[in-house]
Structure 1
Amino acid sequence: MNLKNKKIFSRIAAGVMTVAMAITLLPGTMKTVNAAEPVTSASLDVNLYKRADVYAPNTTFEFEVTNLTAEQAKATNGGKDLKPPFKNAPAGAVKPGTIELAPAAEDLTETSISKKLTFTLVADKFTTEGIGTYRYKVKQKEGTYEGIKYDVGERYLDVTVATDGTNFYIASASLVLYQEDGQLVKSGAFVNTYGVNKPDTENPVPKPDGTVNDLVISKTVTGNYGERDKKFIFEITINGAEGEWYNLEGQPAIKKGTAARIELKHGDTVKIYGLTENDTYTIKELEADDYKTTFETKLNGTNKAGGSGNIKTATGTIDAGTSLQTQEVAFTNDRTGSATGFASSYGPYALMVVLAGAVAFVLFRKKRAEY
């Protein structure tokens, strides 16, 4: 190859390299490997099933986390290790949150409420331990709120640590539920119930279990002088757990310890939903002094011992059972009389009215005669 051809070839090669370099700088042609993004938390649903028309309880669900050694972790995994292998889980590296519930109008007609539980991971406690799988046992604390059945089944949180070649980081955090056959599956939600049995495929709609019940107030007017169309006023106070609301049918909620007023005429009833065992009530009838008032307390249609009286204030305590309990306080207002009785009771007043009218008539005529 002569000198002239060598120069031409060199120029062509340089041009090709220049074009190639330019192409590599065009947008979208360079493949960038992003640095690993560490995981900082894990989450799990917490569900509460209840009856429609019952307010949610005013309570907090709490959780506890226990760090497991490598051997304890293997034991929960049917004696088998994982990849990366189990290592002793550092204490205090997983911080569980809490779930707070409170009565709310938007949840009243719902049969289930779902909240997200978050576990915060303390990164430096893991990265100092290096590559491995760290297992934690997660449980819900069993509370004492009346009517709630707590899901106290165990879940396991697996945290895995990896490296990007320079630093260790949390690569994943997932909750698993150990099964008897040795298989690990993704953990289901914690499922709590309030006044109902846990739904299943055969009973998808929660059924009452007898721990959250109803109170009914009814009104009957008797007697030949009883006013069937008159509305009688009642004052209702319910005392239960702090912050509880009770669903008063067709009216604003009754709040624990706060008096509410209703009006009932002959044949009317009203229902109050969401009372638990040992909740107490006071029902007082107002402005019925010209009636003899009695009441009976019935539980599921049967008279309850000690539940009747001839006074205008009824007090009682809610009972629990194995199915829905409906407690009724039935008020009867009676005003009975006869013509003789009416004359003896109201005759003097009527006579006074007649006499007053007669005097006024005489005076009026006398005054006209003077003119």
Structure 2
Amino acid sequence: MKLKKLFAGVVAAAMIATMSFPAFAARPTPNVGANGLVTITKNYKVVGSEEKKAPAETFNFTVTPGATVNGAEKTVEKSEATTIPAMAANSDEKTVAFTALTEDGTGTFTVDVANLNITKPGIYYYTVTETPSNTAGVDYAADPMIMVITAGYADDGEDSTLSYWVGLHDSKEFNNKNKPFENTYTAGSLKVTKKVTGSLGNKDKKFNIDVTFTAPAGKTVKSTITYVNNGEKSIAPAAWTLNTTTNQYEATVTVELAHKGFVQFNNIPKDVTYIVEEQDYSREEYTATYEDSKSGTIANDVKSTTITNQRGDDTIDTGVILDNAPYTLMLAVVAGGAMTLVSK
């Protein structure tokens, strides 16, 4: 009995002791390696209709000391350093280059902790921001990333070298960690179809059609638009010229289409506008009408328009009188003669 009481007392004392002292989580292993590099990921998505192909693009980023976390300005915390150190010269600009892509791609860039000039333990805040460019069809990452660097010691040994831990946070949802930067290239298509109607419409005749594309304001088209018309053809980035009146870039091509022919332009960046205009054939007595819309804005699908050329109607001289007026007159004469005979 005495042993049981003694054992119970020891257990109770142990429980009280464990409750009296706070529990400390194990110190995590530094996630910034010996090379001191923090790796940040960039995803480049390619979406849209047929034969989409994102142009080669270099994305630019800037790293700046300080960040806004849940509405509060942060620089350095829990440190003897009263201000966040200035970064090494020319270390704040970062780039990620992509070649032309037909499907999603991933790239990375690194931040060297040595360039942050951290010399004292503490928690340091940085903002990583993508610099928007002007490539038509590309959506750039609107929200920056918050990089939190914790400088401290990996263990309580003799080594006095600082170790580093990094946390990468979404600027809008701080608890959302390691979300990559994302960019999206979106392209669509335009299909133009030709119809010829009327008794005198020449279905073998090829009609010239002008198609004009206009880039969104402030944007430059770096994509190559492809189409097939009398062979494979394309509209290269160099084909776009600046309209000094609208201050927007334009490209115009002329295609030939006969009855039931069509041409489809692919890999047109989203938000590019188009106008389809057939050349004037009124002297040849053709009347052109447009189904759907002769103008519009490219999205991520296939836009279409059909041009119908009408010439001639259903009045054709066959040598046979089809009008019933003469027969009506003849019947009237016969009826009149009959009435005369009856009256006599």
TM-score, structure 1 as length reference: 0.51
- Residue 259 (structure 1) shift: 5.8
Q: Could you tell me whether the CA contact under 8 Å between 1:38 and 1:169 is conserved in 2?
A: no
Contact 1:67 1:135 in 2 (8 A): yes
1:193 shift after superposition: 3.7
CA separation of 1:156 and 1:125: change in aligned 2, threshold 3 A:
closer
CA distance in 2, matches of 1:133, 1:289: 76
Out of 177, 182, 207, the position equivalent to 1:186 is: 177
Per-residue Cα deviation, 1:189-236 (whole angstroms, up to 9, x for no partner): 2233445xxxxxxxxxxxxxxxx6543311112233434345556564
- Deviation for aligned residue 1:178: 6.3
Q: Secondary structure, in 3 states, of the residue corresponding to 2:117?
A: helix
Q: Specify the SS of the correspondent of 1:186.
A: coil
**How big is each residue's C-alpha offset from its partner over 1:270-311, in whole Å with a ceiling of 9 and x where there is no partner?**
33242544634565659x89844443345xx3xx5xx6xxxx
CA apart distance, 1:237: 5.0
Where does residue 258 of structure 2 map in the other structure?
265
Amino acid at match of 2:123: T
CA 63–329 in structure 1, closer or farther in 2 if over 3 Å, else same: farther
CA distance in structure 1 between the aligned counterparts of 2:272 and 2:49, rounded to whole angstroms: 22
Tell me what 1:244 maps to: 223
Alignment-mate amino acid for residue 125 of structure 2: R
CA RMSD of aligned residues (A): 4.8
**Aligned partner of 1:226: which letter?**
G
Which residue of the partner structure matches residue 146 of structure 2? 156
Residue 41 of structure 2 corresponds to residue 47 of structure 1: no
Query: What are structure 2's unaligned runs of at least 5 residues?
Result: 1-32, 241-250, 318-344
Q: Give the one of 102, 106, 110 matched to 1:119.
A: 110
Query: For 1:60 and 1:142, how far apart are their aligned partners in 2?
Result: 11
1:222 to 180, 197, 222: 197
Counterpart residue number, 1:135: 125
Partner of 2:297 in structure 1?
319
Q: Percent identity?
A: 18
Q: Which amino acid aligns with 2:222?
A: G
Q: 1:41 to 1:283 in 2, by over 3 A?
A: farther
**Which residue pairs with 1:313 in the alignment?**
none
Partner residue in 1 for 2:244? none
Partners of 2:113 and 2:185 in 1: how far apart? 34
Letter in 1 for 2:44: N
Which amino acid is 1:272 matched to? Answer: F
- Structure having greater relative contact order (Cα 8 Å, sep ≥ 6): 2
Point out the structure with the larger strand share.
Answer: 2
Q: Which residue of 1 aligns with 2:325?
A: none
Structure 1 residue aligned with 2:66: 68
Whether the 8 Å contact between 1:248 and 1:272 is mirrored in structure 2 is yes
On the 8 A contact 1:43/1:118 being kept in 2, the answer is: yes
Preserved contact between residue 222 and residue 336 of structure 1 (Cα < 8 Å) = no
Report the counterpart of residue 38 of structure 1 in structure 2: 35
- Deviations 1:140-197 (CA, angstroms, capped at 9, x unpaired): 34556555444323422133445696674664545233675x7x453212233445xx
Q: Give the match's secondary structure for 1:153.
A: coil
The question of 1:254 aligning with 2:235 is answered yes
Instruction: Give distance in 2, aligned partners of 1:38 and 1:87.
Output: 27
Deviation at 1:43, TM superposition (A): 1.9
Q: More helix per residue: 1 or 2?
A: 1
Name 1:360's counterpart in structure 2: none
CA contact (8 A) 2:58 2:96 kept: yes
- The alpha-carbon distance between structure 1 residues 217 and 242, as it changes in their structure 2 partners (threshold 3 A), is same
Whether the 8 Å contact between 2:271 and 2:298 is mirrored in structure 1 is yes
Q: CA deviation at 1:123?
A: 1.3
